[in-house]
Amino acid sequence: MSNRPYYRTPDPVLDMPPWELDVTKRMPLLFVLDLNGTLLYRKKSSSRSRPFVKELLKYLIQHFYVMVWSSAEQQNVQLMVQRLFGEHQRLLVGRWDRAYCDLQRARPVPKRHDCDNPPTKREQDKARRKPLAVKDLSKIWDSHSQHPRSKPGKRGERPPIWMLRHALERVFDPQTRRPIKWHRGNTVIVDDSVDKVRGYAGNHIAVKDFEAHPDPNDNDLQALLAYIQPINALLSDMRPNLVPRFNVTQYFRDHPWAEFRAGFPLIEFIPTGEPRSPSDPAPATSPRPERNTPDEKLQGIFDGVPI
């Protein structure tokens, strides 16, 4: 066995001090986070954390409820969770992996004579081997159901295998002491893939794919943090009896993430992932367009949400 010392490249997430969190006043909103390509980039034994990931995770865990759902295998999910959350992973509501996804073919495999530019045999084989892992949010909403939804004519059938294997941690509203039920109006999924969450566009915040050689100006997570802070402020100012009626899908329609992201200023990063110091010249940015404040355009935000 070699006696050579082991040197690890400093990482902004692993080397940060323990978070000082007060989770007693979390709002009843569930954030479902993708891992690889959204919060970090991982390939085999190496990984790279995305800029502003620690600030985002700290804010989310302190003010909302958080779970991770990745299309990776269970052992890889555990490694990524340990890297990102460390000892704070105990505060996660759930950790779901590829076993809870619906595996579907990403697109029909074209036949060689069906198009002008026929795919090669290698491309056809690759499309067949790698199905698309779709995330069905209704599994989260059914995770606490005593009588899960079943197909017509299947009375008395056993719950799905994913429900038997793992259920989300039951959480209680600190104000009413009642269990919180997750539904379409209080669930947000953050994922870099639109195809994996198709059917739930109203709950989806789509961030750019984080790759091995990312854009040095990547600040999607900083923009996401700025986007969700008004939601926490809005919920904090509500009367307790109105908070459960908040409809996040209506909020997203009134305050589109795509428009907010397009107007968010760029901040240049040095290679270590830390922002440039204030003494450095700031990069030229386009002026941010005026936006509606969180108090505007709220009519109908509570419509259609079960109480």
Q: Give the global pTM.
A: 0.72
In angstroms, how far is CA 212 from the centroid of its own chain? 19
| pLDDT for position 150 | 42
First CA to last CA distance, the chain: 62
CA 257 to CA 259: how far, in whole Å? 5
pLDDT score for 214: 66
Write out the H or E segment, with its range, that includes residue 167: none
3-state DSSP percent of the chain in helix, strand and coil, to 5: 30, 10, 55
> Can you give 87-115 as a three-state secondary structure string?
HHHHHCCCEECHHHCEEECCCCCCCCCCC
- The type of residue at 124 is Q
Cα separation, 166 vs 181, whole angstroms:
17
Q: Hey, what domains does the chain have and what are their CATH numbers?
A: 30-101+136-147+157-262 (3.40.50.1000)
Chunked into runs of 10 residues, the chain (307 residues) has average pLDDT values of 43 52 81 95 82 94 94 93 91 92 70 60 66 91 60 49 62 81 96 92 95 79 96 90 90 96 70 45 46 43 44
Q: What is the CA radius of gyration of the chain?
A: 21
